[in-house]
Structure formats: structure tokens, C-alpha cells
Chain A
Amino acid sequence: MTYLWQFIFGLVATVGFAILFHVPKRHIFVASLIGGMGWVVFAYCRSDYGGALLGCFLAACVVGFFAGICSRVFKETATVFTIPGIIPLVPGAGMYYTTLYLISGQLEQAATTGTETLLMAGSISVGLLVVSSFFKIHYTLAGKIKNKFRKKREKCDIMEE
């Protein structure tokens, strides 16, 4: 139930980002659905499964995956869906807590949180990277298979003639 709320919060926050980044009106809803899903995955991992780093990675994978599919479906650039979807994951909270520890003189805590923040940004990128290379491989393979079939068919046609 809490996660349903988290989903709604993530969704509305992504609507805000979509407006700020001027996503075309017809795509705002889909983009915010993707953002909400990414956020829910992150929130679940952060508190119940594996921690924030894994959460960032998995959430970025989810966002990248759905953005890739939607960009195919709507014939739109994937950026339109990725950027609003990924931004809730960018660790603003990590930055805040790092600063808080720094100004209150808890340097050890600050170093720990700061490193975790950097790693979170890194794991977002790794997540996107994994999914987008998966998509690339898929399309290259699909193209090759299509070409092969076409060649075979042409061969058959020639033979029939």
C-alpha cells in the first residue's frame, strides 16, 4: 500500500519534470508512468531489498526498458521518455545529507554518504547502459535475421522462376 502511494508520488513528480523539460503534451502521461515505475522500483529496493545502489541500477534498467519500448511504439526519440523518468533517481537527497554532515562536522559520515551518492549516479548510468546495449544488440540481430530471410526468399524466388 505504501508503494502505491510511492508510485503516485513518483508519477506526479515526473509530471512536474516533464513540464519543466517541455515534453510534448501527448507524451506527458506515458513519460510520468515510466517515471513512477522507476521510482517504485527504487523505493522498494531502498527499504526492502538490496539497498539504494541496487535500487538505482534496477530502476534505471526499468526506465530504460520501457522508454525503449515506448520510443518504438510512438515513433518518438527515447530521450523524451528517459530524461523525465530518470531524474527522480538522481540522488538529490544524497547531496543534501552529504552537505548536512559536512556543515555539522561529521566528516566520516559525509565521506560515506558522498561516496554513496556518487556511486548511485554511477549505477544509474550503468543501468541505462545495460538496457540500451541490449536494445542495440536486439535490433542488430533482428536486422540480420530479416536480411537472411529476405536473401533466402529471393533465392527461392529465383529458383522457382
Chain B
Amino acid sequence: MTKQLQKRILIMALLAGELMMKSGAEIYRVEDTITRICKACKIPYVEAFATPTGIFLSLDKGGEDNEMFTFIKRIRGSATDLGKISEINQFSRDFVSTDLSVEDGMARLKQISKRKPYPLGIKLLGAALTCAFFCLMFKGTIQDFVCAFIIGAASYLLSAIFDGFETNYFIKGFCCTAFAAFLALICAASGLGNTSGPTTIGALMLFVPGVAITNAIRDFLAGDMLSGLARTSEAFFIAISLATGAGVVMRLWVLMGGTIL
């Protein structure tokens, strides 16, 4: 009986950890959540070790007859979803302070995992706003603003399509920025916009690895060197993919006789 209970607790804690990690939480937060959930179920020995690609967890009730449980969870794919992080944080706080049963906790976690992010239309609007206002921030004109608004939505739509095919992140970043840079150059050349620079910067900002950078720092701060390094290299490779995407298109444009306005 205790064995089964222990197993259920383990599965629930791992699910919570996995959801947080997939939503882009920091390592210490994931480990802390798992440890708190297990401690709340009166398990004295908990050891959690999380990296961006996997969670290792072992539990021991501490008695003579109790066996030790260990579980490894491989994590694939990640998308930033701050709403989920905040909800699971709230969940772990509730779980620790009130006596929620493991079954109820599991049900609530499953509910959180099913929660969808904002619908695609609103996300496209968000992308368009970001792109357009970054264009203004880098001294774009009103015409550029309009172009950037459309280009931002278009390139984000492309990235959403790539997400649907579960493409490699490098290819995704490369293609999306290449597409955006191409559109920006065309807009500038055809006279719809004045300059392509601010528009391209706006589109780059959409895909810039800001979350990876911030999390890398926080992981380093908390002493999780391994994850910090992993995330730094992630950020670095994403940045390279964006720069090459825009660079290749701009280079080809120049080679084919166009000028970069």
C-alpha cells in the first residue's frame, strides 16, 4: 500500500516538474517544487536533480522495509508559457499548505497541462505589435510601421507552421528570419516602406533567445552550472541561426544587384 502511494506521489511530482521545465522555468524552481510536493506527502528523503533535458528523482520513506524509488524523465521540446509556471507554483503552494489528496492533485495538474495558450489570432496580433513597435523604437517611419506590423504577423505565422511540423529549432529560426528579412527588403525596394533595417530588427526581436539568456543567468546564480551552460549554448545557437538567416538573405539580395536601404 505504501509502495503504491509512494509511486503515485513520485509520478505526480515528476509531472509537475516536467510541466514547469517545458514551460521554461528555472532549474532551482523545478527542483524546489518537486522537493516541496514530496516533503508535503511526508517523505523524508527526497533528492531531485533537474536539467533542461531531463529530471532525475529518488524517494525513500526511510523505514527499514521501505524500498527506494528512482525515476528518470526525459524532457523534449519546450515553449515559454509563463501562465503555466505561475499556475503550478500556485498549485504547489496549495498542495503544501492544505491537505489535498494525491488523486486531486494529479487531476488538477492534468487540468493545468491541458490549458491552451492564447489563440493563434491573438498571438499573431502580439507578434505584429512587437515587431511594429520595435520598428518605431529603432527610428522607423510610419510606413515602416505598417510594413513591420504585417511582416511580424507573417513571420510568426511561419514559425507557428514550423512548430506544427516539429522542426529543428535552428532551421525554424533560420527560415523565419530569412523570410522576414526578404519581405522587409522587398517592402523597402518597392517603396512601401522607407528602410528595411528597423523592420528586420523588429522581426529579429520576435525570435531572439531572451528567455534562454535570462534563465541561463538565473541557473548560474543558483549554482546549477550544467543547466546554465546548456542554456547559454542554446541561446548562442539560436542567435547564430537568426543572424545567418537574415545575413544570407541580405547577402543574396546584394549579389543579385539590390541595395540595402
Contacts and interface: CB of A to CB of B under 8 A. Distances in A.
A20 interface: yes
A63 to B, nearest CB: 10
Contact of A79 (B85, B210, B216, B251): B85
A23 interface: yes
A23 B86 CA distance: 9
Contact of A19 (B29, B126, B133): B126
Contacts of B122: 19
Contacts of A93: 138, 201, 204
Pairs A-B, 7 closest by C-beta atoms: A19-B126, A16-B130, A87-B210, A16-B129, A125-B217, A13-B133, A92-B205
A16 B204 contact: no
A6 B112 CA distance: 37
Interface string A4-40: 0010011011011111111110000000000000010
Interface of A: 6, 9-10, 12-13, 15-24, 39, 43, 76-77, 79-80, 82-84, 86-88, 90, 92-93, 95-96, 98-100, 102-104, 121, 124-125, 128-129, 132-133
Interface in B213-261: 213-214, 216-218, 221, 239, 242-243, 246-247, 250-251, 254, 260
A15 B129 contact: yes
B138 A83 contact: no
Interface in B127-141: 127-131, 133-134, 136-138
A152 B4 CA distance: 46
B125 interface: yes
Interface residues of B, number: 54
B81 interface: yes
A48 to B, nearest CB: 15
B129 A128 contact: no
B118 interface: yes
B246 A96 contact: yes
B260 A22 contact: no
B26 A79 contact: yes
B83 A23 contact: yes
Contacts of A19: 118, 122-123, 125-126, 129
Contacts of B254: 103-104
B113 interface: no
B118 A79 contact: no
Contacts of A21: 80-82, 211
Contact of B82 (A12, A24, A129, A133): A24
B134 A92 contact: yes
Given A12-B133, A132-B221, A90 B82 contact: no
